[in-house]
Amino acid sequence: MFGLKTDWSLDIPSRYFILDDYLGNEARWCPGCGDHAVLTAVQRICRDEQLPPEQTVVVSGIGCSSRFPHYMATYGFHSLHGRALPVACGVKSRRPDLKVFVATGDGDCCSIGAGHWLHAIRYNMDMVVMMFDNNIYGLTKKQTSPTSKPGLATNTHPRGSWLPALNPTAATLGFTNVSFMAQTVDWMPAHLHAVLQAAYRHRGLSFVRIAQRCPQYTSKVFEEYVNNPDKVLVLEHQNGIKLDPSLDRFYKTRMTHDPADIVQATAIAHREDVLPIGLFFWDPSRPCYDDFTQLGMDMTPEDKIRALNEEMDRFAV
């Protein structure tokens, strides 16, 4: 059109995200469920780190905790039972620019998804994996999970669970190429937030086990630690998780632990006299599989066809 400047460019204004930018559907977890605390912590981290919602994705499996993507105003993928980790690895493989969070439960991760759990740790792709551990299958109404304590009466074991509970922390520390293993609890929001923020800032797969209470079926499973802070062992180190000063007066059972020491980390993970929380292990030098899966992503369609033809020519007779 005559009289109009046609060589203009659009200046995109800087964006600042607030909590409301990450609020999805209204959370439908039971009142008092520990999942609410984790959701709030993740939304705060997204705000603190200024993660664009369109560049953030939450992947989950099946279970109460796996409703997480519905409550975030980001991209989400509510996958099949136990399949959150392979889906998340696929997302990170093809879209390395996205920030990936995974929500999974003790049944979803440690039972049907156990094989994927092991290999996701080994792949060490850059994402935050949050394992909500309430020692029960909650969504399907009180079946024994791999982390159920012996004697816990459930619908599948009405006279009490028989086998020793799986220890997800100790198990993860034993997997090849583990790079970040931490543990926290839902009733200490400041510590929960600090752990998940450290997990987000780690480059590699950050596995965080969260002791999370189910008010319907396992409301008393962590009661001794909630009522007696002295039974919560806080791990401290200059490279670890710093305890919020507001908690100093309540949580006085401390231990200096270097997160580079996997042998000591494993010993701490096996302790049953206390509930250890903090950073168990951290090694940012471990290789990340997504560094390899990104190779060739900048190839043009013509380059790909040429490379494919060259490869096929090797088999010509």
Instruction: Kindly state whether residue 303 falls inside one of the protein's structural domains.
Output: no
- pLDDT at position 219: 87
Number of domains in the chain: 1
Q: Write the pLDDT tens digit of every residue in 39-80.
A: 999 999 999 999 999 999 999 999 999 999 999 999 999 999
Residue 296: inside a domain, yes or no? Answer: no
- Look up residue 178 and give its two tokens: 């583990």
Q: Is residue 83 part of a domain?
A: yes
Which region among 9-23, 50-64, 76-90 has the lowest average model confidence (pLDDT)?
Answer: 9-23
pLDDT value for 316: 84
Q: β-strands 275-282, 180-185: how paired?
A: antiparallel
Count the alpha carbons within 13 Å of 108 in the hemisphere toward its beta carbon: 31
pLDDT of residue 295: 85
- Residue 314 counted as domain residue: no
Query: What average pLDDT does this structure show over 244-272?
Result: 95
Give the amino acid at 203: R
Q: How far is CA 270 from the centre of its chain?
A: 21
Question: Region 230-247: what's the mean pLDDT?
Answer: 93
Highest averaged pLDDT of the listed ranges 50-54, 141-145, 245-249, 306-310: 50-54
- Domain extent at residue 135: 19-288
In a domain, 13, yes or no: no
Q: And the tokens for 165?
A: 């509970």
**12 confidence band (pLDDT: 50, 70, 90):** low
Residue 4 has pLDDT above 60, yes or no: no
CATH of the domain at 101: 3.40.50.970
In a domain, 41, yes or no: yes
Q: Tell me which DSSP letter residue 108 carries.
A: I
Residue 315 lies in a domain: no
Residue 310 lies in a domain: no
Cα distance from N-terminal residue to C-terminal residue, the chain: 62
- Summarised one tens digit per residue, pLDDT across range 102-124 is 999 999 999 999 999 999 999 99
Q: Which of 146, 91, 156 is nearest to 293 (CA)?
A: 91
Type of residue at 166: L
Of the given ranges (117-131, 142-156, 183-197, 253-267), which has the lowest mean pLDDT?
142-156
